[in-house]
Amino acid sequence: MARGITPEFKERVLARVDLVELIGARVALRRVGKEYLGLCPFHNEKTPSFTVVPDKQFYHCFGCGANGNAIDFLIQYDRLDFPEAVTELARQAGMDLPNADAPPREGPDPRPLYDTLAQAAAFYQRQLRTHPQAQRAVDYLKGRGLSGTIAARFGLGFAPPGWDALLAQLGAGRDGRARLAAAGLIIERDDGRCYDRFRDRIMFPIHDRRGRVLGFGGRILDQGEPKYLNSPETAVFHKGRELYGLYQARAASRQPPRLLVVEGYLDVIALAQFELPYAVATLGTATTPEQLTRLLRSAPELVFCFDGDRAGRAAAWKALTTALPQVGRQQPVRFLFLPEGEDPDTLVRKEGRVAFEQRLTGATPLSTFLFEHLSTGLDLTTAEGRAALDAAARPLLERVPAGTYRGLLAQQLARLVGLPPPVGGRAAPRRAARVPAPQMDLTRRAIALLLDEPGLAAALTVRPTDWSALRQPGADLLQELLAQIDAAPGLTGGMLRERLRDSPYEPIIAQRSELLAIDLTYEGKAAEVQGAIERLNEQAGRAGRARLWEVRSLADLTPEQRTALRARRGRRADH
């Protein structure tokens, strides 16, 4: 959790926020009874299906499934990350973020580090304009077709040759050298002497979402190695989290139509010059889960762009496997494979913007690439080939969040291997379900009802018993919801959802939108929840008794278990 943002503070913020006012400033809403209705801001529609429920501080779209509280809305609509969303809501509510400006406990104040990096970026930019040997860098950039305007937009610079150009400018005294070392800009030798990390390179500053410089990438001008050199990990720079060009993409459009992940800094800049300002690049590494989360929060569609050769397809497959746990939430993930010998830079210059965008529109969907890759080398006309495909695909499908998308992938797999489609569109289970479908529906309905109206718990006359022996999907979540509500009476649905953010239950909660339209009275809803708990209590009792009978020796039991088993056996003897 972000520093200063505690669960208690989140709940206080949500309690102070008027969700109708927050959303109404961005979406035209009209009152319909106790709720507000408008056109969904997250997908194109002509008939309003976007509902805001003031008393629950919750919104939901029955068209695309988008739903959540005030924090979720800012994350989805304004493309903020979680700390930014909470901070913005606190600001609107006139609340101070606890310890927001205090240095983190785990390290020194990072602000001097940001200042040093900003000074270094300005130094490199000046050198590109004024250094006697910068013409080689200028000629290289012009040779790549880049204009001075686009170079300025991305803050490109030049690290002069020599060992101490930056050190001489910013490294005066022991403190100056210490700051440069902490920023990863100089290297200290064994004898204590220091020298510039970046020398005779075109410099690409890497920004965070707020536009602060975090680090640099440098491209060598001659034939030396490495061709590209990145800043090392520092207190503020982590290669696995950041994305080159994301700040510029967000600056160009608050809601870009898509994000295109390419492999090189110059690809990002060239595409931006051709009015395709939504390209980003990883920092010399494969896409990480953290980067993927940020990408999916920033645009409605994600396209990975790779070379069409074997290495490119291998990199694409790695990106696909990383994406599986986060796909299926109305955001298409596609893969564009380029012709041999081309990269985005050369291809957009050859074909132009319109033709390149047509390639993006026709990019391969994740589902197609998934099964094409797994089918490579298999003869699907034989039982052996189809069985091999099934064995390879099933573990991957299990990594996809439960819901419609995983069900559709399971159906597609069933068609490919010639098996009946799985019941309900779900992946075929490895063992038969132990509970009937109607009871699973009852549990899911109880979960949905409590999430929308936590106050129902006050009307219940039962609570869960020991459910540890149950294999019932959703039972653990239902029990957790009741525990959270009992611990904090007065929770709204939005507050309850927020308490479970980043928990193992969050993906399950996100998939329950189809149950939100349950049309029952308050008493009817409470009866549904109570019925689910009673059924689960009954099943838990049977499971516990069955577990006792499975134990052959009384010596294996606790005294309490022995008493229960003797009583049970006595009742059976009476019959």
pLDDT tens-digit series, residues 57-99: 889 998 888 889 999 999 888 777 888 889 888 877 777 777 6
According to the model, what pLDDT value does residue 571 have?
54
Cβ pair 412, 367 in contact under 8 A: yes
What separation, in Å, do the N-terminal and C-terminal C-alpha atoms of the chain show? 58
Q: How far apart are CA 117 and CA 180, in angstroms?
A: 8
Judge whether residue 299 has pLDDT over 60. yes
**pLDDT band for position 8 (cuts 50, 70, 90):** confident
Q: How far apart are CA 52 and CA 57, in angstroms?
A: 8
Residue position matching structure tokens 């205090």: 102
pLDDT tens-digit series, residues 495-546: 788 788 777 777 677 655 444 444 566 777 888 888 888 888 888 877 766 6
Distance from CA of residue 128 to its chain's centroid?
37
Q: Which domains does the chain have, with CATH numbers?
A: 7-92 (3.90.580.10), 111-230 (3.90.980.10), 246-364 (3.40.1360.10), 377-425 (1.20.50.20), 437-574 (1.10.860.10)
Q: Which residue, 244, 120, 125, is CA-closest to 186?
A: 120
Judge whether residue 359 has pLDDT over 60. yes
Judge whether residue 133 has pLDDT over 50. yes
State phi, psi for 548 to the nearest 5 degrees: -65, -40
Tell me the CA distances in angstroms from 521 to 58, 107, 518, 540, one per residue in order: 19, 54, 9, 29
Of residues 189 and 427, more confidently modeled = 189
Cβ pair 472, 536 in contact under 8 A: yes
**pLDDT band for position 129 (cuts 50, 70, 90):** very high
Other beta carbons less than 10 A from residue 468's beta carbon: 12
Other beta carbons less than 10 A from residue 241's beta carbon: 14
Q: How far apart are CA 197 and CA 187, in angstroms?
A: 6
Cβ pair 540, 467 in contact under 8 A: yes
Model confidence, pTM: 0.62
Buried b (16+ CB within 10 A) or exposed e, 72-82: bbbbbbebbbb
Q: How far apart are CA 158 and CA 67, in angstroms?
A: 47
Tell me the CA distances in angstroms from 105 to 99, 508, 524, one per residue in order: 11, 34, 50
